[in-house]
Structure 1
Amino acid sequence: MIQIPQDMTEVKVKIAQLEELGHTSDEKEVIFDAIQDNAQSILDEQLEGHYYSCTLDNDTITVYETPEKPAGTVKSQGASFEDDFRKDANGMLIYLSKEISRVINQR
């Protein structure tokens, strides 16, 4: 089973897998989860552990040192991260990695 989709093909496979298990989900929801989960995975990898968290809100990912203390934000390249993912998921993930690195290195 695909845990975190990396592109639109994997999104479609994940939806099919969820439907086989009896779960209802739509493409937009799976893409949202994929972006947020990929951002958290990148953050954990760069910090070598789960020290910070992040949340996705349409065109902005906010990185938090603690639940009350934002460390910084990453803006989408286009209208939203969903649009960026749909157009070029790999490019969006590369951009996200670079920008998350920028946020954690400015602390």
Structure 2
Amino acid sequence: MSILVPTNMNEVAEKLNEDKNRGIETTEEIVIKQAVLDNAQDILNGALEGPYWKVKWRKEDESLVIYDIMNQEVGTVSATENSFSKNFKDNPATVIRSLDDQIQKIVKNA
């Protein structure tokens, strides 16, 4: 079974193990940062009912920028404190809720 997007630390550990078994060198930090980015993109896709906008790092592990279909910046999403990876390690559900709240506001205001 492949975990598409880790949403908690158990799934991060499973993803690390899966990557190791496939010969992919990675770290917990890299998996968490990718999980934050992928969760944000999934939330955005759900809010727009399709993959019309993109999420990218503005400042890695601290803020994300959202671009619309015309590649124009429409908003930013920031870590609530510290960094996304530290927050994810402490409480992944809170990070995902915060991503969802911030992304929903950007979509509604665009």
Name the TM tier (shorter chain): over 0.9
- The unaligned stretches of length 5 or more in structure 1 are none
Listed as ranges, the matches of 1:27-38 within 5 Å are: 27-38=28-39
How many Å separate the matches in 1 of 2:36 and 2:11? 12
Give the deviation of 1:3 after TM superposition: 1.1
62-71 or 8-17, larger mean C-alpha shift: 62-71
User: Which residue among 95, 98, 101 is the counterpart of 1:98?
Assistant: 101
Rate the CA distance shift 1:22–1:67 in 2: closer, same or farther, 3 A.
Answer: farther
Shift in Å, 1:67: 6.5
The equivalent of 2:92 in structure 1 is 89
Report whether the alignment pairs 1:19 with 2:20.
yes
Match of 1:63, SS? strand
TM-score, L = length of structure 1: 0.94
SS at match of 2:75: strand
SS of alignment partner, residue 72 of structure 1: strand
User: What is the one-letter code of the residue matched to 1:17?
Assistant: E
Unaligned runs of at least 5 residues, structure 2: none
- Identity level (%): 28
Q: Are the structure 2 counterparts of residues 90 and 3 from structure 1 closer, same or farther at C-alpha, using a change threshold of 3 Å?
A: same
C-alpha displacement of 1:44: 0.1
Question: SS state of the match for residue 65, structure 2?
Answer: strand
Q: Runs in 1 of length 4+ with deviation above 6 angstroms?
A: none
Q: State how far apart, in whole Å, the 2-side matches of 1:101 and 1:53 are.
A: 14
CA distance in 1, matches of 2:35, 2:4: 9
Name the structure 2 match of 1:70: 73
**1:66 Cα shift?**
4.0
Match of 1:47 in 2: 48
TM-score by length of 2: 0.92
Partners in 2 of 1:4 and 1:28 — Cα distance? 14
CA distance in 2, matches of 1:30, 1:23: 11
Aligned residues: 107
